[in-house]
């Protein structure tokens, strides 16, 4: 969530920035009207609350006098005071009705402003290039040289189908389109990739291995920005029955539970940077544009990912972003997979990101680079939604943390890249050296 003062102080300027960088249309006039109503109602509500409080205090004072007057035998004056009490009570009742109406209207307007604020994307960092879509992304560097093949290159679907390793038809019978069954040595290779990534990030990169739920509540989804904007992209279920029933969401990425571990909390400075890694199932109801990547494992409703999340001080988040991206790059380099790093433009970044690097791996069957990791610095955008803060010096005022997340990396897409880049003429697949300890020493699967 953006700083609310940006909406309150100059909605027209904010609307201009959002339109220029994100192509987002914000109705500044509507915001201004709502804000004017809110201010007027807030002033009147406070006036009514003060009137109610002062009149209630006067009632208490008069009733105290009544007791003393009766004790002194001044019944006439006591009766006069009681009459004044009744008059003030009637006046307070009138205040109460108006106050109740005013508070309800104020809550409604605040709700409308909050709904608008929750729907606003993060503002890009000044270093992010302005662009409408992926064509505006800027390549930063490349690593590795794509392999030259002296035989006809097969895609990962054909390589998997030849050995019965990858079965989309069986998955479709079980679950529908965009699911896959893996068998035998390919399933083991998939598991080996996840184990290798976790070991690398935990043992060498200093991330704390964390196991998280894949079902979370709406508050967690709202905290990282999936709700309310992306409700249609999520799988959900209802837990419990009757009045106790509540909606739960299957996570689209472990970023959601990992980042929310600091929600509604104040983290001590000594705990920062907080680095966490998790291997989890991920679920996305909208798995990409229809008609694209319908074959195989590129776009799935269910997939696995090793996710990296960092929580930092604001002044450290830019350096942490570079470090996190470098950790993801190391995965691809250890696997021997050619890749390139792309700085995403304003129009291609995710909703919560202020700056994003995508890593794209080379796929021989497509003769192009495809996304395999996305590393984003969200600044204080998620922290403000989650009320996640840190405290520096003892007694200092809590400040919002910065949150970052990145794929370290997508396991299924890494499997696709290993299969295609490591394929041999006979259909076997060379196992990268770093994975062989996880594969019982196998140098190839066939």
Report whether 135 belongs to an annotated binding site.
no
- Tell me which of 299, 341, 354, 389 is the catalytic residue: 299
- Tell me which of 110, 371, 399, 436 is the catalytic residue: 371
CA distances 79 to 11, 70, 84, 245, 322, Å, are 57, 9, 9, 56, 79
Report whether 372 belongs to an annotated binding site.
yes
Q: Which residues pair with 374 in a beta bridge?
A: 358
**Active site includes 243?**
no
Report whether 385 belongs to an annotated binding site.
no
- Tell me which of 310, 365, 374, 376 is the catalytic residue: 374
**Active site includes 241?**
no
Residue whose tokens read 């508050």: 219
Q: How many CA atoms lie within 13 A of 446 on its CB side?
A: 11
Report whether 134 belongs to an annotated binding site.
no
Report whether 374 belongs to an annotated binding site.
yes
**Active site includes 299?**
yes
Report whether 148 belongs to an annotated binding site.
no
Report whether 371 belongs to an annotated binding site.
yes
CA dist., res. 210 & res. 192, Å (int): 18
- Tell me which of 38, 284, 341, 354 is the catalytic residue: 284
**Residue 261 · residue 275 · CB < 8 Å:** no
DSSP states along 170-197: HHHHHH-SS--EE-HHHHHHHHHHHHHH
Residue whose tokens read 């307007």: 109
Report whether 373 belongs to an annotated binding site.
yes
**Active site includes 70?**
no
**Residue 385 · residue 225 · CB < 8 Å:** yes
CA dist., res. 74 & res. 68, Å (int): 9
**Active site includes 391?**
no
**Residue 345 · residue 289 · CB < 8 Å:** no
Residues making up the annotated binding site for ATP are: 284-286, 371-374
Residues making up the annotated binding site are: 253-255, 284-286, 307, 371-374, 407
Residues making up the annotated binding site for L-serine are: 253-255, 307, 407
Which residues are catalytically annotated?
284, 299, 371, 374, 413
């Amino acid at each position: 969530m953006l700083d609310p003062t940006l909406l309150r102080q100059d909605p027209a300027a904010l609307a201009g920035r959002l339109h220029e960088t994100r192509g987002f249309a914000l109705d500044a006039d509507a915001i201004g009207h709502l804000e004017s109503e809110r201010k007027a109602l807030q002033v009147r509500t406070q006036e009514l609350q003060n009137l109610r409080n002062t009149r209630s205090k006067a009632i208490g004072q008069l009733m105290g006098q009544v007791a003393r007057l009766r004790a002194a035998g001044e019944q006439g004056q006591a009766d006069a005071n009681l009459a004044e009490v009744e008059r003030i009570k009637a006046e307070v009742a009138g205040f109460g009705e108006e106050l109740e109406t005013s508070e309800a209207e104020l809550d409604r307007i605040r709700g409308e402003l909050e709904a608008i604020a929750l729907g606003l994307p993060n503002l890009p960092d000044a270093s992010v290039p302005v662009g409408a879509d992926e064509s505006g992304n800027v390549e930063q560097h490349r690593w590795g040289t794509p392999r030259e093949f002296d035989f006809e290159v097969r895609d990962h679907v054909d390589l998997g189908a030849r050995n019965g390793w990858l079965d989309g038809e069986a998955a479709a019978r079980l679950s529908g389109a965009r699911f896959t069954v893996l068998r035998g040595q390919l399933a083991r290779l998939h598991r080996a990739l996840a184990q290798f990534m976790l070991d690398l990030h935990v043992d060498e990169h200093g991330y704390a291995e964390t196991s998280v739920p894949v079902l979370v509540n709406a508050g967690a989804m709202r905290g990282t920005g999936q709700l309310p904007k992306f409700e249609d992209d999520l799988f959900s279920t209802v837990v419990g029955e009757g009045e106790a029933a509540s909606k739960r969401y299957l996570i689209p990425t472990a970023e959601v539970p990992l980042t929310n571990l600091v929600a509604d909390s104040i983290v001590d400075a000594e705990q920062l940077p907080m680095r966490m890694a998790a291997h989890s199932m991920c679920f996305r109801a909208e798995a990409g544009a229809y008609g694209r990547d319908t074959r195989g494992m590129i776009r799935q409703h269910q997939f696995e990912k090793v996710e990296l999340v960092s929580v930092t001080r604001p002044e450290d988040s830019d350096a942490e972003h570079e470090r996190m991206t470098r950790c993801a790059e190391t995965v691809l380099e250890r696997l021997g997979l050619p890749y390139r790093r792309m700085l995403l433009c304003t129009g291609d970044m995710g909703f919560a990101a202020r700056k994003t690097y995508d890593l794209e791996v080379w796929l021989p069957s497509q003769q192009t680079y495809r996304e395999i990791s996305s590393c984003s610095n969200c600044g204080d955008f998620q922290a403000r939604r989650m009320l996640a803060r840190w405290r520096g010096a003892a007694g200092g005022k809590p400040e919002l943390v910065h949150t970052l997340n990145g794929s370290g990396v997508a396991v299924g897409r890494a499997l696709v890249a290993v299969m295609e880049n490591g394929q041999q003429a006979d259909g076997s697949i060379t196992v990268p050296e770093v994975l062989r300890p996880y594969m019982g020493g196998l140098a190839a699967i066939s």
